[in-house]
């Protein structure tokens, strides 16, 4: 996407940031403002949350009214009327994935789902059946997306290449992340294709700060990080392969989310037949800044 085209699209799009007042919601909102996207003055949030929050970035500021679950559908319906090119970004919590997606699809409001967890089969089905445009991905960091794509390709082209090996997956995220990493879960499929028996329930999830520091996470990143280590060991212990990514902070994910919004807005404008996308689609088309 050329810079001129990106600017044209960004000036047309308004984002409803469902995930405020959380840290990721703020990070994405700030990135939206940097990239020229407008933030809707209303957003869906969970119970017992503040009635309002403010997003500030580079001299720009938007006050956002936060509505509780009982008001979600009405608030989104009104926002759809108020903003011609509305796209929802969802970074809420696993229990909200399906209730929220049911609302988005019932109103046919395009959305970017970055929240992991929930019933993913139901999520995909309700989105497909409704014909709603959506970008659904467990990870939005472009380098990690490329790594996932590489592993998927290797597992498809060299099935069973690591037969007889044992796998250990250890992932650490901030203590507020309740569920096991969706990225780690997705990687399990690639390792299975390479001939390694392993279930998502075997992933070692670290959420205790003391153990995270032992794992190597800097204290400054304890409230926002994604450290994953994938270790393959031969049956006799004589050979070891290790893949890892250590991400501190949230900015790289926020930039990927906004890349995804821009990509989805372009697809909507073009009226493409395909309506459900993931971040590998975005990466494959070179649409990431």
Catalytic residue among 26, 72, 177, 228: 177
Number of CB atoms found within 10 A of residue 249's CB: 15
In the numeric block, the tokens 């001299």 are attached to: 59
Please, what is the Cα angle at 134 between 133 and 135, to 5 degrees? 145
State the DSSP H helix or E strand holding residue 166, giving kind and residue range, or none if neither: strand 166-173
Q: Label residue 154 left, alpha or beta by phi (over 0 means left) and psi (-120 to 50 means alpha).
A: alpha
Catalytic residue among 26, 72, 173, 287: 173
Under 8 Å between Cβ of 242 and 258: no
Q: Which of 252, 263, 276 is closest to 1 using CA atoms?
A: 263
Look at the alpha carbons of 27, 31, 34, 39 in this order and tell me if their dihedral is positive or negative: negative
DSSP state of 96: G
Catalytic (active site) residue 228: no
Catalytic (active site) residue 72: no
Under 8 Å between Cβ of 60 and 35: no
Q: Please state the φ and ψ torsions of residue 208, each to the nearest 5 degrees.
A: -90, 120
Q: How far apart are CA 28 and CA 20, in angstroms?
A: 10
Catalytic residue set: 173, 177
């Amino acid at each position: 996407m050329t810079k001129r085209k990106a600017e044209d699209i960004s000036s047309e799009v308004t984002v409803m940031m469902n995930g405020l007042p959380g840290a990721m919601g703020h990070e994405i909102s700030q990135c939206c403002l940097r990239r020229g996207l407008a933030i809707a003055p209303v957003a869906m949030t969970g119970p017992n949350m503040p009635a309002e929050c403010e997003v500030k970035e580079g001299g720009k500021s938007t006050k956002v009214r936060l509505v509780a679950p009982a008001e979600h559908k009405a608030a989104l319906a009104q926002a759809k009327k108020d903003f011609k090119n509305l796209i929802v970004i969802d970074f809420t919590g696993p229990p909200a994935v399906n209730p929220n997606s049911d609302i988005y699809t019932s109103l046919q409001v395009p959305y970017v789902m970055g929240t992991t967890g929930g019933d993913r089969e139901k999520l995909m089905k309700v989105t497909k059946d409704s014909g709603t445009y959506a970008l659904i991905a467990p990870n939005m960091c472009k380098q990690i997306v490329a790594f996932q794509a590489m592993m998927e390709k290797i597992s498809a082209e060299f099935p069973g290449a690591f037969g007889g090996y044992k796998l250990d997956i250890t992932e650490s995220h901030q203590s507020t992340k309740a569920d096991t990493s969706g990225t780690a879960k997705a990687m399990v499929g690639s390792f299975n294709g390479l001939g390694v028996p392993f279930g998502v329930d075997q992933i070692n999830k670290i959420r205790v700060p003391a153990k995270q520091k032992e794992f190597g996470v800097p204290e400054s990143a304890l409230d926002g990080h994604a450290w994953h280590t994938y270790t393959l060991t031969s049956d006799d212990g004589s050979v070891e392969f290790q893949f890892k990514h250590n991400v501190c902070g949230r900015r790289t994910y926020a930039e990927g989310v906004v890349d995804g919004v821009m990509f989805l807005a372009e697809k909507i404008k073009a009226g493409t037949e395909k309506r459900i996308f993931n971040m590998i689609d975005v990466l494959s088309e070179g649409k990431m800044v």
